[in-house]
Amino acid sequence: MQTENSEYAPRRSRRLTSRFVRWANRALSLNMVLSFLFLYLPILILVVFSFNDSRLAARWEGFTLDWYRSLLTSRSILSSAKNTLIVAVTSTIIATGLGTMTAIAMERFRFPFRRIYDGLLYIPIVTPEIVTGVSLLAFFSLTFNAINSAFHLTGDSAFRSGLITITLTHVAFNIAFVSVVVRSSLKDFRRSLEDAAQDLGANEWVTFRRITLPLIMPGIIAGALLAFTLSLDNFVITYFVTGPGATTLPIEVFGRVRRSISPEINAISTIMLIISSIFVLASQILQRRK
């Protein structure tokens, strides 16, 4: 009898364990479904109601493309979209160049205070955007006031916030993101390929141009796409450093939302969502192929 009980106990324990595992899997699956619904259902509703034939955002009255057509004739939308593209393209080009050089310097060279600089490089990534925006607002205000007072600049000749300050700000926080992405592509880089090229007579510049740069190019492009996306969507920091005539698309959307929520705003948000998703997806694919 004791032998039978001792054999029954492990079987009963295995059945309980198997039952617990099944319930745990179901609970995790349900949690995953609910999490995805919580995250993406509002976005899906936004996209659907961007085709709503009613001006009231909360009532569906039919399908239409009029809101997307109206975007093509809106001067404020076109102007803000132009400003957004100018800032995004310019800041991406500058940040990609500086971020790539920073990544190579941090990964390849040893110099004084390297660890301190390495830590400072991550500050723009972890610092709350509200803190960055307020600090940059104070910096530009003090700097421009000092310059205008020193050179007695007034009116149109005076320094003030605008597209230049927005671009400089986006370059500042994008350098860190580009550097992180490019450094990840340098981690697994085989230095033996560079040594082989130099053994065959190539100098350092030729080696970099023919060997190093093509091999890390997927990481550079991925960093550039990420920087472009962050610049395209940024609102909080941009809101603090913008000026007259320098309204970007996120700020334009925010201004319209404060008045009312219409399908036109949903249409703008949908377009921005699609563009951002494309660039983020392309960045992830390139990082995996590096």
CB 133 within 8 A of CB 241: yes
pLDDT class of 1 with cuts at 50, 70, 90:
very low
Is residue 155 one of the residues assigned to a domain? Answer: yes
- Can you tell me the mean pLDDT for 144-160? 82
Whose tokens are 């085989």? That residue is 190
- Can you tell me the mean pLDDT for 20-47? 85
Is 60 exceeded by the pLDDT of residue 6? no
Domain count, the chain: 2
Is 60 exceeded by the pLDDT of residue 146? yes
Three-state DSSP class for residue 287: helix
Is 70 exceeded by the pLDDT of residue 5? no
Residues 241, 275: one domain? Answer: yes
Is residue 152 one of the residues assigned to a domain? Answer: yes
CA-CA distance, 61 to 67, in Å (whole number)?
A: 14
Residues 121, 171: one domain? Answer: yes
| Cα→Cα distances 241→10, 63, 154, 163, 227, Å | 68, 39, 19, 9, 18
Is residue 56 one of the residues assigned to a domain? Answer: no
**Would you give the end-to-end CA distance of the chain in angstroms?**
65
CA-CA distance, 68 to 47, in Å (whole number)?
A: 12
Long-range contacts of 206-212 (CB under 8 A, 24+ apart): none
**Which pLDDT value is given to residue 13?**
63
Residues 45, 81: one domain? Answer: no
Residues comprising the chain, all counted: 290
Residues 76, 43: one domain? Answer: no
Question: Could you read off the pLDDT of 158-176 as tens digits, one per residue?
Answer: 788 889 999 999 999 999 9
**Which pLDDT value is given to residue 10?**
64
Is residue 64 one of the residues assigned to a domain? Answer: no
Strand partners of residue 63: 52
**Which pLDDT value is given to residue 86?**
93
CA-CA distance, 288 to 286, in Å (whole number)?
A: 5
Residues 208, 96: one domain? Answer: yes
Model's pTM, two decimal places? 0.80
Residues 147, 228: one domain? Answer: yes
Is 60 exceeded by the pLDDT of residue 2? no
**Which pLDDT value is given to residue 216?**
87
Is residue 187 one of the residues assigned to a domain? Answer: yes
**Which pLDDT value is given to residue 62?**
82
Residues 125, 252: one domain? Answer: yes
Is residue 63 one of the residues assigned to a domain? Answer: no
Strand partners of residue 52: 63
Question: Could you read off the pLDDT of 68-78 as tens digits, one per residue?
Answer: 888 888 888 88
CA-CA distance, 198 to 51, in Å (whole number)?
A: 60
Residue 116 structural domain: 70-289
Residues 43, 112: one domain? Answer: no
Percent of the chain's residues with pLDDT above 70: 92
| Lowest-pLDDT range of 92-96, 142-146, 150-154 | 150-154
Burial of 64 (0-12, 13-18, 19+ CB in 10 A): middle
Residues 105, 16: one domain? Answer: no
Residues 106, 39: one domain? Answer: no
Is 50 exceeded by the pLDDT of residue 54? yes
Question: Could you read off the pLDDT of 182-209 as tens digits, one per residue?
Answer: 988 888 777 788 778 877 888 888 888 8
Is 90 exceeded by the pLDDT of residue 23? no
- Can you tell me the mean pLDDT for 102-129? 86
Is residue 90 one of the residues assigned to a domain? Answer: yes
Number of H helices and E strands in the chain, helices first, is 13, 0
Residues 114, 237: one domain? Answer: yes
Domain CATH number, residue 110? 1.10.3720.10
**pLDDT, mean over the chain:** 84
Residues 283, 253: one domain? Answer: yes
